[in-house]
Amino acid sequence: MAKLGPSLTGSQLARFQADTARHLSFSLTLGCPLKCAHCMVPTVSPRDAEPVSLDMTAACRFAVEMPELARMGITRVSFTGGEPFLAEAQLSIIAAAAAAAGIKTTVVTACHWAKTFESAAKFVARFPFISDWHLSTDLYHAEFLRPAYVIHAAKAVAASGAQVLVRMAVGRDLDPEERALTAWVRAQLSADIPIALQPVSPVGRAKEIGVTPDFDDARSVPDAPCLTTGPLIQHTGRLLPCCSALSEKPEISPFATADASVEGLPAAVRAWRSDPLLTLVRALGFGFPVAWAEAAGAARVSPAPRHPCDYCTMFFSSDCAREAARAKAEEAPIRAQIEALSRAVFDVEPRELEVSE
């Protein structure tokens, strides 16, 4: 059955937030053979992909570091882009090393390689170290690839024994075309292959087609915390706090960063886990940072977007808000309280986990 967006109980939310500290994502390239109107990534054509893809030196370094990441408690690495298979060599080097270290691997792909079931099966067989395949199709992708490509891919992945999820981006209210495509995809697949419907976010090219934040006049901040899926390593090697809105505007991010290609992945993961401001908004939301910013003279975001990702970029676009929140969270007494909060809420400390050899 298809489901629109996440729906979590309090305990599920806490588990999700704790698990993000064990998840690491790579945006391997900005190259993509598609140009979907809703995409948040400033993609380029495949012929221009090499300069905007992770270089092989960094990929080899990251592969060597996978056992250390496993000892730190990383249990899954994911690969996105652009289209991650346009950086196939880099993906294979890192993913194979991750699998060898006992880390699960996920790839998110639009399946341009799945023209037929037979070609899809041959392609999937080349990547036995990928444990989970997230396959994208929707009306936006259908402009460039027939939805049948995803059906071929999903069946090929399922036949290989790996896990498969079909992801479809839709509007907040499904229109007749979206309902028809969703129903068609569901009818082509066995019931045990899940479909996730994801609302289009007002980021990147989606803003050009009129997607806007959903505002709530009754609230000054969202009633949900930050839902980052974990640290993201860009194709440049730079650490970002998430794969969502701040990945489009890294210059306004108040959160810790690092150059993983120079400092290493373990250092980048430690920086993400120990960032006090990020930990706070993941645990409790934006209430305290907003109060600190307003005390420093920052204007309130009004009306407030309902979704925390939309609110995050609007709030931190203010230099005053960004600097005030960052400075307050770094104060020693506040930082100590946030570290205690992290242990209480997430049951995971911002340091290496004890893992036996």
Q: Considering the entire predicted model, what is its pTM? A: 0.92
In terms of pLDDT, which residue wins out, 202 or 98? 98
Give the pLDDT confidence score for residue 8 in this predicted structure: 65
What is the rounded distance in angstroms from the CA atom of residue 201 to the CA atom of residue 211? 7
- In sequence order, which residues have a C-beta less than 8 Å from that of residue 115 and are 6 or more positions away? 149, 152
Span 262-320, pLDDT tens digits = 999 999 999 999 999 999 999 999 999 999 999 999 999 999 999 999 999 999 999 99
Categorize the per-residue pLDDT at 354 as very low, low, confident or very high, splitting at 50, 70 and 90: very low
**Domain extents in the chain:** 3-212
246 pLDDT exceeds 90? no
Question: Do residues 69 and 269 make contact, with C-beta atoms less than 8 angstroms apart?
Answer: yes
Average pLDDT over residues 72-76: 96
Does the domain spanning 3-212 belong to CATH 3.20.20.70?
Answer: yes
140 pLDDT exceeds 70? yes
Span 37-46, pLDDT tens digits = 999 999 999 9
